[in-house]
Structure 1
Amino acid sequence: MSKRTIKDYLLISAKGLGMGAADVVPGVSGGTVAFITGIYEELLTSISNINFKAIKILNDEGVKAFWKHVNGWFFVSLLMGIVVSFVSLAKVAKYLMEHEPIALWSFFFGLVAASIFYVGKEVKNKDAKAGIGFIAGAAIAYYITILPPLTGDSDSLLMLFFAGMIAICAMILPGISGSFILLILGAYQTLMIAIDSMDLVVFAVFAAGAGAGLISFSRALKWLFEKYESMTIAVLSGFLLGSLNKLWPWKHVSEVYVKHAGEPKEEIVHLVENNVLPSDYQTFELVGDDLVYSSADPQVAIAAVCAVVGFALIFGIEFAAKKLGGKPEEK
């Protein structure tokens, strides 16, 4: 196996940029980008290698052996890209969500739609079982996108621990957004308030749940890839299809949550929204506690262009990956 070069690690950081950009947008999963850029299985393997065996290697063989076991430089490169993306693109994504939502959702709709074909090509055994897995994955993801959020905040520490476990699992599954799962579980508001007020106890419990979920779920997914690769990929590509319901650009918002109410940095989070036809699209304004709707331009032409750009980007990534000569592995 060839040793990775600086160029290879820069490419991994670029993929991290894409994962971070996806995770900033509620409804889009960084796992989707990891999958379509060809680092998904390596990411799962690297996460699952953070275990008691890693601690034993550190104790018996030293830092160098430990670093190689956990694929340390892969993590560093990927996390650098994710962090840079969060810092540099968070404000851009927030602006687009507020001012150009149709263009943003259309771009991701095209991106994920193309990913279905891209990921589907990786299914080696295209038989009836794979077809059933694909349909099941699509149905599960679609069902998740239409679940209403639980009433009220989840302030139980045990509930927050499990919310962390479930949300982080969603974040590494293609097509399912961790932030959207938090909304469904009723934990989103609690976590946002905890972050704003620097409630370290709440945040630590959530982080512990996320860590436990990430390590255990990555092992389960790694095992599925090893034992049932075609079926697993078929189900994951089905997840992508089902998630398109969440990415539909034209939505009717019927319930919101206001972060930092009354402050200059007030932010409106969509809690409940339903897809509508472009002809029925309306914007809303929060007047007191009421949502006031008004007709708006559905921007169909802009949506079509952005969707085509997102669709074409996937095949551009595939072309670039072939030109760069595959995926070298580290010694």
Structure 2
Amino acid sequence: MGKKNAFKNRTRDRIMTVMNKVRKTNIIIYILIILKGFIIGIANIIPGVSGGTVALILNIYKRMITSIGNLSFSTIKAIIKLFSFRKKHFYDFKKEMMRVDAPFLVLLLIGAAAAIIIFSNLITILLETRHDITYGFFFGLILVSIVIPFSKIKNKSFKVFLSILIGIILIIALSFVISDEQQISNAKTANEMSMASQAIGIDIDIGKLIMMFLTGILVTSAMILPGISGSFIALVMGQYFLLLQAVSERDLLILGIFAIGGLIGLKFFAKVMNYLFKKCHDVFMAFISGLVLGSLWIMWPFKNTFI
């Protein structure tokens, strides 16, 4: 009897030890996901730096777009039904969250949101006072990591190298659509006009709200595409400084409209990306490699650009 009890105790202790190790491992994994989201958030604030590129470097890109692409009306339905407090709906909710890999996505968003809230003012200051150093850091980070997307290409054919070239040309051409100085001037002017209107009591009109909605769609779509910066798109659309101001001042109207557009853009674009990954993996990865290579031109730190 004593031997049986001793065996049970040893078995129980071993199980508890394994469970504690699993818990510690999970906590470390969760912290790492939040930190990765934090880095992506910082990247998304800086014009020319792509959050998608950073996600690719951190080896979470495919998981991220798969998780976003899996979000559907059934996800919203499961969340709403959870508030009925029925046991069946709780299990349905849990099953749906596992299907869309929600824990990963939520932790990533927590990290990114924290970075944007904490660093929105600091990044503006760094771009004003330490422009070359700030861009130089991200330039070096992407330069040494360029092999990551290229290494995922299995068959390096003519189509692959053509796709790389197209990606490079697309990003460089985009940078010439409007000069850095003009982008910044337009964005600052739009923001100053908005601030002046609010100062004399003029409400934000429907046109501005529609523009912010469209900005949300395009910016968040660009955020998950390596090589194209969401902040760069916001800058071109003249909404960059308005967004930074909205984050700093907790302007819920502007941020809410932007978020609604962003969710629509993310959902649609993630579906497209998942389709391309499945149907033409090598060509698509080559195109992404080209976008990342082309982004080095945009991030070259020694331009005469001062924000």
Q: Deviation of residue 137 (structure 1)?
A: 0.9
Distance 1:156 1:92, change over 3 A: closer
Q: Which of 102, 110, 117 is the aligned partner of 1:72?
A: 102
**Structure 1 residues 103-125: Cα deviation after superposition (integer angstroms, max 9, x where no partner):** 22222111112232221111112
Give the alignment of 1:22-61 within 5 angstroms: 22-56=43-77, 59=81
Once residues 176 and 100 of structure 2 are traced to their aligned partners in structure 1, the CA distance between those partners, rounded to angstroms, is: 38
Question: Aligned residue for 1:63?
Answer: 93
Query: Structure 2: which amino acid aligns with 1:226?
Result: K
Q: For 1:80 and 1:142, how far apart are their aligned partners in 2?
A: 32
Which protein is richer in helix relative to its size?
A: 2
Distance 1:95 1:157, change over 3 A: closer
Counterparts of 1:227 and 1:180, CA distance in 2: 29
Structure-1 residue corresponding to 2:213: 161
Q: Could you tell me which residue of structure 1 aligns to residue 270 of structure 2?
A: 218
Pairwise CA distance, 1:216: 0.6
SS in 1 for 2:226: coil
Q: In 2 relative to 1, CA 130–107 (structure 1 residues): closer, same or farther, beyond 3 Å? A: same
Query: Where does residue 199 of structure 2 map in the other structure?
Result: none
Structure 1 gap segments, 5+ residues each: 254-268, 271-331
Alignment of 1:118 onto 2:139: no
Amino acid at match of 1:246: I
Q: Which runs of 5+ in 2 are unaligned?
A: 1-21, 82-88, 192-206
2:132 to 94, 102, 108: 102
Whole-Å Cα distance in 1 between the matches of residues 101 and 224 of structure 2? 18
Q: Deviations over 1:141-184 (max 9, x none)?
A: 11222221496749543333222111111111112211110111
1:95: how far off? 4.4
Residue 144 of structure 1 pairs with residue 174 of structure 2: yes
Partners of 1:13 and 1:202 lie apart in 2 by: 25
Q: Which has the higher strand share?
A: 1
Residues 186 and 242 (structure 1), Cα distance of their counterparts in 2 relative to 1, 3 Å cut: same
Correspondent of 2:300 among 209, 228, 248: 248
Assess if the C-alpha contact under 8 Å between 2:135 and 2:299 holds in 1: yes
Task: Note if contact 2:50-2:228 (Cα within 8 Å) is conserved in structure 1.
Answer: yes
In structure 2, the partner of 1:13 is: 34
TM-score, reference length from structure 2: 0.73
Which of these two proteins has the greater Rg computed from alpha carbons?
Answer: 2
Conserved 8 A contact 1:30-1:172 = yes
Q: How far off its partner does 1:129 sit? A: 0.7
Equivalent position of 2:229 in the other structure: 177
Please state how far the C-alpha of 1:93 moved relative to its aligned partner: 3.8
Q: Which has the higher contact order (CA 8 A, sep 6+)?
A: 2
Equivalence for 1:127: 157
Output the CA distance in 2 between the equivalents of 1:127 and 1:167: 32
Between the aligned partners of 2:145 and 2:56, the Cα distance in structure 1 is 9
Q: Which residue of 2 aligns with 1:204?
A: 256
CA contact (8 A) 2:120 2:247 kept: no
Separation in 2, partners of 1:211, 1:131: 33
Aligned-partner residue type, residue 68 of structure 2: I
Identity rate, percent: 35
For residue 228 of structure 1, the aligned residue among 280, 283, 292 is 280
| Paired residue secondary structure (1:243) | helix
CA contact (8 A) 1:106 1:249 kept: yes
Q: Is the 8 A contact 1:105 1:248 kept in 2?
A: yes
Shift of residue 9, structure 1, vs aligned partner: 2.1
Partner of 1:299: none
The number of aligned residues is 254
Counterpart residue type for residue 263 of structure 2: G
Q: 2: distance between equivalents of 1:191 and 1:7? A: 33
**Contact 1:17/1:82 (CA < 8 Å) preserved in 2?**
yes
